[in-house]
Amino acid sequence: MHFYQLHRNVKIRIIEHFISVMVGNAIFPFMAIYFAAKLGPTITGFILLINVIISIICGLYGGHLADKFGRRIVMLKSGYIRLVATLLMVLASSPWYESPWAIYFSLIIFSACQSISRPASEAMIIDASTTENRKYIYSLRYWAYHVALIMGALGGALLFQTHLFELLLIITAISISSIILLKFFIVDTYIPDSEVINNNNSKIGITEIVSSYKVIIVDSMFKIYLLALLLKLCIETQFHHYSAVRFTNVIPAYPLFSFGEFTIIIDGTKMYAILNMVNAVIIICGVYFTKKILTRFTDRKLLGVGLLVYSTGYAIIATNSNPWILILAMCIITFGELLATPTIQGLLADIVPEKKRSSYLAINGLIFRGASIVGSLSITIGAYIPSWVIGIEIIIAGAVSMYFFGLVIKHRDKIASLVKENGDKKMDKVANE
C-alpha cells in the first residue's frame, strides 16, 4: 500500500490535516497565555471553559447534520463561516487595531465551526477507505499529526508572541485553500437519503438530534467500544496530569548525561518534556517500521500486545523516578501505541453504520474529553494514595480495556462472517437460476 494508491479524498484530507494542525498548534495552544496576559487568569479560565462547552454541543450537532445532508456540504458551509471568523481575528490582532475580546468571540465561532465539521471530516475518510487500507491510513495520519504537532509547537514558541498577526494570516490562507479543495476537488462518496434532502419541512431541531443520538446510545457493542477506549485514554491522560505533577516532587536536579565538562541537568519538569519528545520522535521514526506489522497480524494480536506493553510502560512511569528507566518505559509505551492506535481507529470504522457514521464519531469524540476529566481528577486522588496503587490501577485499566476490545473484535468478525455467508448464498442462488 502506498500513498498515491489512496482515494483522492483521503490524500487531500491527510495533507490538509497536516498543514492545519501544524499552523493551528503554533497559535491556539498559546491563546490561553495571550488571554491570561490581556484579560487576567480568572476571566481566561472561565471564557475557555465556555469555549469547550460550545465545541462539545457543536460537535454533536455537526455529526447529525453530516449524516443527514452529507459530509461535503457541512464541511463547506462551516468552512465559509470559519473563514469569516479567521478574518475577524486577523483584523483584531493587526498592528492598527487590537481587541482581545474580538479575538475571543472570533475564536468561539472558529472553534464551533471546526467542531461542526470534524465528525464529517472523519466520516469522509472512512467513506473513502476500505477495511484493507484503513490501518495504513490511520498510521499515516498518526505520523503526520505528530510531525505537525512538533513543527507547530516549535513555530509557536518562536513566533506567537511577536508574529500573531502573520500566523493568523497563514490560517486565513489555509481556510481559503480548504474551501477551494472542498469546492472543486473533493467528491462526497456518501449519499444521504434523498427523501431527507428533498423534504423542505425536514427538522434539525433539538428533538430530532436527541432522537438520532438515542439510537446510538442503545448500541451495546458501541458502548463497550467506548468504555474500552475510555480506559485506554485514561491511562495516557494520567501521565499528562498525575505523573507530570509527581515528577516535580520526586525528581530533583539530576545529571542525566555527562561528557567531559558538558553535563545535561534535568529536573521533574524537564523529565516530563523529555518523555514527550521521546514519544513523538519514536512515533515519527517508527511508523514506517510498524507498517508491515499492522498488516501481518490480526487485530486481536495487535491490540493484545499493544495494550499490554502500553499499560505496563505507563505503570512503570507512574511508580518510578529513575530517568533512564522512565525513558526506556516511554520507548516501550510508544511501541505499544504504534500497534494499538491505528488498530483501534480501524476497528471504530468497521463497527459504525454508514448512515450514522458522523454521529457515532461525534459521540466518540466526547470520550477524549471524558478521559481528560479523569486525568485531572488523578492529580487530586494521587495526593492521597501511594504511587504503586496508581500503577496497579493502570495495569487493571489496560487489562479490562484489552478484554472489552476483544469483545468488539469478536462481534465485528461474527457480523462480517454472517454477511459473507449470506452473500455467498445469494451468489449460489443466482448461479442456480
pLDDT at 76 over 90: yes
CB contact at 8 A, 79 and 178: yes
pLDDT at 432 over 50: no
Average pLDDT over residues 46-66: 87
Query: Same fold for the domain at 3-186 and the one at 217-432?
Result: yes
Most confident of 124-138, 139-153, 217-231, 362-376: 217-231
Rounded Cα–Cα distance for residues 212 and 229 (Å): 22
| Residue 140 confidence (pLDDT) | 87
| Residue 24 confidence (pLDDT) | 84
Q: In which residue are the cell numbers 460550545 written?
A: 54
- Kindly state the percentage of the chain with pLDDT values over 90: 28
Topology adopted by domain 3-186: Growth Hormone; Chain: A; (1.20.1250)
> Which phi-psi region, left, alpha or beta, contains residue 192 (left: φ > 0; alpha: ψ -120 to 50)?
beta
| Residue 155 confidence (pLDDT) | 83
Query: CA-based Rg of the chain, rounded to a whole angstrom?
Result: 23
Q: Could you read off the pLDDT of 226-266 as tens digits, one per residue?
A: 999 999 999 998 888 888 888 888 888 777 777 766 777 77
Rounded Cα–Cα distance for residues 405 and 303 (Å): 8
Write out the three cell numbers for 193.
Answer: 437519503
Instruction: Name the more confident of 410 and 295.
Output: 410
pLDDT at 371 over 80: yes
pLDDT at 201 over 80: no
Rounded Cα–Cα distance for residues 127 and 338 (Å): 23
Q: Hey, CA dihedral for 398, 402, 408, 409, is it positive or negative? A: positive
pLDDT at 398 over 70: yes
| DSSP codes joined into one string, 41-52 | HHHHHHHHHHHH
Whole-number Cα distances in Å, 4 to 9, 18, 35, 136: 11, 16, 43, 12
Q: Could you read off the pLDDT of 161-181 as tens digits, one per residue?
A: 888 889 899 989 998 998 998
pLDDT at 143 over 90: no
Rounded Cα–Cα distance for residues 57 and 239 (Å): 28
- 128-132, 152-156, 236-240, 429-433: least confident range: 429-433
- Kindly state the percentage of the chain with pLDDT values over 70: 93
CB-facing half-sphere around the CA of 207: CA atoms within 13 A: 2
Domain ranges of the chain: 3-186, 217-432
CB neighbours of residue 316 within 10 Å: 19
The torsion angles phi and psi of 28, rounded to 5 degrees, stand at: -70, -35
Q: In which residue are the cell numbers 472523519 written?
A: 122
Whole-number Cα distances in Å, 26 to 104, 159, 277: 17, 8, 17
Average pLDDT over residues 39-64: 85
Write out the three cell numbers for 273.
Answer: 518534556
Average pLDDT over residues 45-66: 86
pLDDT at 81 over 90: yes
pLDDT at 299 over 80: yes
CB contact at 8 A, 124 and 13: yes
259: helix, strand or coil: strand
| DSSP codes joined into one string, 405-416 | HHHHHHHHHHHH
| Residue 205 confidence (pLDDT) | 65
Write out the three cell numbers for 77.
Answer: 458551509
Average pLDDT over residues 335-355: 90
pLDDT tier for residue 203 given thresholds of 50, 70 and 90: low
| Residue 423 confidence (pLDDT) | 58
CA trace torsion 299, 303, 305, 311 (10° rounding): 180
pLDDT tier for residue 74 given thresholds of 50, 70 and 90: very high
Average pLDDT over residues 120-147: 87
Rounded Cα–Cα distance for residues 305 and 311 (Å): 10
pLDDT at 428 over 60: no
- 8-12, 151-155, 328-332, 385-389: least confident range: 151-155
Rounded Cα–Cα distance for residues 121 and 113 (Å): 12
pLDDT tier for residue 199 given thresholds of 50, 70 and 90: low
pLDDT at 430 over 50: no
Paired with 98 in beta bridges are 93
The CATH H-level (homologous superfamily) assignment of domain 217-432 is MFS general substrate transporter like domains (1.20.1250.20)
Rounded Cα–Cα distance for residues 207 and 120 (Å): 21
Instruction: Name the more confident of 433 and 422.
Output: 422
Write out the three cell numbers for 159.
Answer: 513566533
How much is the mean pLDDT over the chain? 85
Whole-number Cα distances in Å, 67 to 130, 243, 334: 19, 40, 35
b/e sequence 104-129, b meaning 16+ C-beta within 10 Å: bbbbbbbbbbbbbbbbbbbbbbbbbb
| Residue 427 confidence (pLDDT) | 40
| Residue 196 confidence (pLDDT) | 54
Write out the three cell numbers for 179.
Answer: 474551501
Write out the three cell numbers for 325.
Answer: 528507566
Q: Identify the CA nearest to 228 among candidates 410, 417, 60, 390.
A: 410
